[in-house]
Amino acid sequence: MDFLDFEKPIIELERRIEELKLLASKGDSPVELDDEIEKLNSKCKKLTNDIFSDLSEWQIAQLSRHPKRPKSLNVIAAISENFQELHGDRMFADDSSIVSGPAKIKGTSVMFIGQQKGNNTKDKIFRNYGMPNPEGYRKAMRMMKLAEKFKIPIITIIDTPGAFPGIGAEERGQSEAIARNLFTLASLKTPVINLVIGEGGSGGALAIGMGDSLIMMQYSIYSVISPEACSSILWRNQEQTNAAAEAMGISSKSLSKLGLVDKIIKEPLGGFHKDPGSTYQEIAKEILQTINYLKTIDIDELLTKRRMKYKEIGEFKEI
């Protein structure tokens, strides 16, 4: 299944259009089909506009996990040149759910640290479905330190359901690895940009998600817990997933209202996967603009701003 439940009416129309186009190309139909195809195209576009103009938080969460949605390596390959992937945490192993290494975006050197979910069943298993183990976060920290040493801006690409909750991960210090990354990011003397391209889940996302600027794709999410898990805890079942998503406000639009997001990158109608080419250009443009702005700030002032940004989250005044 390469479509979501709420996309079914759109998919049915698209399939009908493709059938008519096939008939027209073969010349098997006794009637002219161009007018009918044009009418269906207009109807399909209007239906897509109607559906995507009023998505719920849960529908956006589903869209952030769309099977066709581009992954971190797709983004890195599209927006940069000379990406050299570096492996291993120099302590235990190489975690394939974290991809990292230096590259250049239109001549500007950057360090990528991304979470990779995988594109097919075999790749998803290899990447552990984008859920890093402690060695993945320790590899990420090694890259952070390397970028700091050479004064290279860091681009973290967030797309994970969360850190891997297995026994082995806990034995090797999952919580310590995440905490150590947060401690490191808070004092890293180089610009750090966080880009959420899909699912930003819990501390597993935050472990590489603390920085100077948070950029989110229009149909991405960032939350302390998944809607399904929240529903299971509060209602003892997963039937209230939609209500849980609405209550948490996990979409980029909801988080922007709270002042947590610095920039939202608009996606094509239907989502990132519908027209990745033009979206990649917008991502590269936004990253370069942000890097150029952050480079104008003195590093000590940048660190102060970064720390204050996170200290202010959750503060409120009673009126």
* Residues 190-224: tens digit of each pLDDT: 999 999 999 999 899 999 999 999 999 999 999 99
Residue numbers in the chain where pLDDT is lower than 50: none
pLDDT of residue 1: 56
pTM value is 0.91
Phi-psi domain of 120 (left: phi exceeds 0; alpha: psi -120 through 50; beta: other): beta
Residue 251 DSSP one-character state = B
Query: 120: helix, coil or strand?
Result: coil
pLDDT of residue 20: 82
pLDDT of residue 38: 84
* Residues 16-50: tens digit of each pLDDT: 888 888 877 766 655 567 778 888 888 888 888 88
Burial code (b: 16+ CB inside 10 Å, e: under 16) for 183-209 equals ebbeebebbbbbbbbbbbbbbbbbbbb
Task: Name the β-bridge partners of 79.
Answer: none
